[in-house]
Amino acid sequence: MAPIPTYDDSVNNNNECETKVFPYKIINVREDINKELLEVFTGEKSGFLQVGPKKWFFPSGYKREAEHLYNFVARPTDVFIVTFPRSGTTWTQELVWLLANDLDYETANKVLLAQRFPFLEFSCFVHKEVKANLLKVNQFDPPSCKLIETLDYPSWKYLDTIKENRFIKTHLPFSLLPSNLLNAGSKVIYVARHPKDVAVSYYHLNRTYVTQGYVGDFKNFWKYFQSGLVAWGPYWEHLKEGWSRRHEKNVLFYFYEDMKKNPIATFRKLATFLGKNYSDEELSILENHLRIDNFKNNKSVNNDEHRNIGLIANGEESFIRKGVIGGWTTYFDENLSQEADRWIEDNLRSSNIVLPY
C-alpha cells in the first residue's frame, strides 16, 4: 500500500485506446451484512460493494475507479505483479525490480519501493474520512500532510505520466485488470500462496492498516475470508483466474512456497522471463538482500513512512512480518483447521490447481 507522487494533470495516455464500458454490475453488499462489516472493518465508512457474477469484494471507493482501472492503457514494456494480498507481493516487487534493473541496489535503497512499483488501485481504499483524520492528527507536520494528500491520488493517472518502463503492483483479479493487458504484450507475474498462510498474514494487515481497521479476532476474520467478504476476494476465484492464464506467453505463474524453498531457481526463472541473465554469485548476493531479517529493516520497502503518519496503527505488527511457510499452525485450532481443509479440498476438487504443502 503506497503513497503516489504528484503528477502533471495535463497528461493522460488513456486517450490512446478507445474507452470501454465497464462490463460488470456493481451492487451494494446486503444491508445486514454491510452493517456487520462496517463494525469490524472500521477503515471503511460508507459501505462495501460486490462486483460481477464472481462477487469481487471492495470498499465503496472502487466504484469511482472501476472504469478507469479497466481502461488503463497497458504498454508492451510494462511489468505487472498480480497477487491476492499477502502472497509474497512486496518480496516479489523488490526481486523483480532489481532483476529488471541490472541489480541496481543503490537506487533501490534510495527510492521507496512504492515509487518504483506503484500500487494500481490503492486510492480506492483511502476513505475521505480516514484521510481527513490523518490530516488532522498531522496538522502541524507539513511534510506528513503532503504525503497524506497523495494517498487517494489515483495511480492510473500517475502511471500515465511515466515515460520509462513501468512496474505496477495490483491485487485485482485478471477479469478486472486493464482490458488490453495481455494483448499489449505486458509481462505479468502472478504469485500464489497457500490460503491458510494468506489468511493469517492478511488478518494482520487488516489490523495494521487504518484504511482497513479490522478490530475482530482471527476466527471471525477467517469466516469473512472464507466467504469472500474481504477486499479483493473471493480467494479461490482470484487464484483460478491466475492459474487459468499460467500458460500464456507473457504470464509467469508460481507459488510463493516454491520461491521460498528454492529461491535461486525462482530467481533464474524470473530473470529469463524478464530477458536477463545473472551469475551464481550475483544471485547469491540478491538472495541475501531479500532475507527476511534484512528485508524487515530495509527502509525502502518496509513502509515506515506509513507508520510515521498514522496509516499503520500503533501496537500492531510491522508491514513486513515473518514470510514463513506454515505460520498458520499457531492460529488455527483443530476444529478450524479441519473446517479450512474441507473448504480447500472442495475448491481443489472443482479445479486442477495443485497447491504446495
Query: Is the pLDDT confidence value at 180 over 70?
Result: yes
List C-alpha distances in Å: 166 to 79, 186, 337: 6, 10, 41
pLDDT band at 7 (very low <50, low <70, confident <90, very high): very low
Query: Is the pLDDT confidence value at 8 over 50?
Result: no
Judge contact between 63 and 48, C-beta under 8 A: no
Average pLDDT, stretch 287-315? Answer: 79
**Residue 21: how many other CB atoms lie within 10 Å:** 7
Q: What is the share, in percent, of the chain residues with pLDDT greater than 70?
A: 90
pLDDT tens profile 269-289: 999 999 999 999 999 999 999
Average pLDDT, stretch 179-200? Answer: 94
Domains and CATH numbers, the chain: 74-349 (3.40.50.300)
Query: Is the pLDDT confidence value at 5 over 70?
Result: no
Cell of 179: 482490458
Average pLDDT, stretch 292-314? Answer: 77
Q: Is 289 a catalytic residue?
A: no
List C-alpha distances in Å: 134 to 147, 148, 149, 318, 351: 10, 7, 10, 19, 44
pLDDT tens profile 17-68: 578 899 999 999 999 999 999 999 999 999 999 999 999 999 999 999 999 9
Q: What is the mean pLDDT of the chain?
A: 90
pLDDT band at 320 (very low <50, low <70, confident <90, very high): very low
pLDDT in the model for residue 326:
66
pLDDT in the model for residue 9:
38
pLDDT in the model for residue 322:
55
**Residue 288: how many other CB atoms lie within 10 Å:** 9
Average pLDDT, stretch 142-148? Answer: 93
pLDDT in the model for residue 15:
45
List C-alpha distances in Å: 85 to 23, 90, 191: 24, 10, 10
Please give the residue that has the higher pLDDT: either 308 or 138. 138
Listed range (195-209, 293-307, 308-322) with the worst mean pLDDT: 308-322
Per DSSP, the three-state class of 190 is strand
Three-state SS for 62-84 is: HHHHHHHHHCCCCCCCCEEEEEC
Query: Is the pLDDT confidence value at 312 over 70?
Result: yes
pLDDT in the model for residue 12:
43
pLDDT in the model for residue 315:
58
pLDDT in the model for residue 10:
37
Query: Is the pLDDT confidence value at 16 over 80?
Result: no
Which run of H or E residues covers position 99?
helix 89-100
Average pLDDT, stretch 336-340? Answer: 94
Please state, in angstroms and rounded to a whole number, the distance separating the CA atoms of residues 239 and 15: 32
pLDDT in the model for residue 14:
46
pLDDT tens profile 323-333: 567 677 888 89
pLDDT tens profile 201-228: 999 999 999 999 999 999 999 999 999 9
Average pLDDT, stretch 226-248? Answer: 97
Query: Which of 68, 127, 171, 289 is an active site residue?
Result: 171
- For 202-226, b/e burial (b = at least 16 CB within 10 A) is bbbbbbbbbbbbbebebeebbebbb
Per DSSP, the three-state class of 326 is coil
